[in-house]
Amino acid sequence: MRDTIKAHKDFLMADGDPSARSAFFLIRAKTARFADNPRYGLTVTKRTFRHAVDRNRAKRLLRDWVRFNEKLLRPDLDYVFIARRAILDATRTDGRVAMKKALNYLRKLKTDEQ
């Protein structure tokens, strides 16, 4: 399993960084700060999820989906996953499929640029 992003500055992305969208989340990717140690971060805001129970559930779902699709994460990229409100209505299978599609899209997009 990858390390997690902890510093605020590492969550910030540039406008040109590739992203993928789903009804449940948004993924932003950027070149890894340390090539030998790619990371991922989760953003689940209080503005979107007022209750801690909902924020914790969203984080739990995102972590599960990332672990399930870990083989699709590129080793040279850091990823930031931003939860959307619809994630609370998602099933485990729907989320895993949506994550797979989004990561494949990013993988293809980033490969085409090089």
List the domain boundaries for the chain.
3-113
Q: Write down the pTM of the prediction.
A: 0.86
- List the one residue out of 1, 38, 31, 26 whose CA is nearest residue 99: 26
Q: DSSP 3-state assignment of 17?
A: coil
What pLDDT, on the 0 to 100 scale, is given for residue 81?
94
Q: Give first-to-last CA distance, the chain, whole Å.
A: 26
Token reading at 49: 């999820």
Per CATH, which fold does 3-113 belong to? Ribosomal Protein S5; domain 2 (3.30.230)
One digit per residue, the tens of pLDDT, for the chain of length 114 reads 577 787 767 777 766 778 899 999 999 988 877 667 778 899 999 999 999 999 999 999 999 999 999 899 888 888 999 999 999 999 999 999 999 999 999 988 755 565
DSSP one-letter string for 45-71: -TTT--SHHHHHHHHHHHHHHHHHTGG
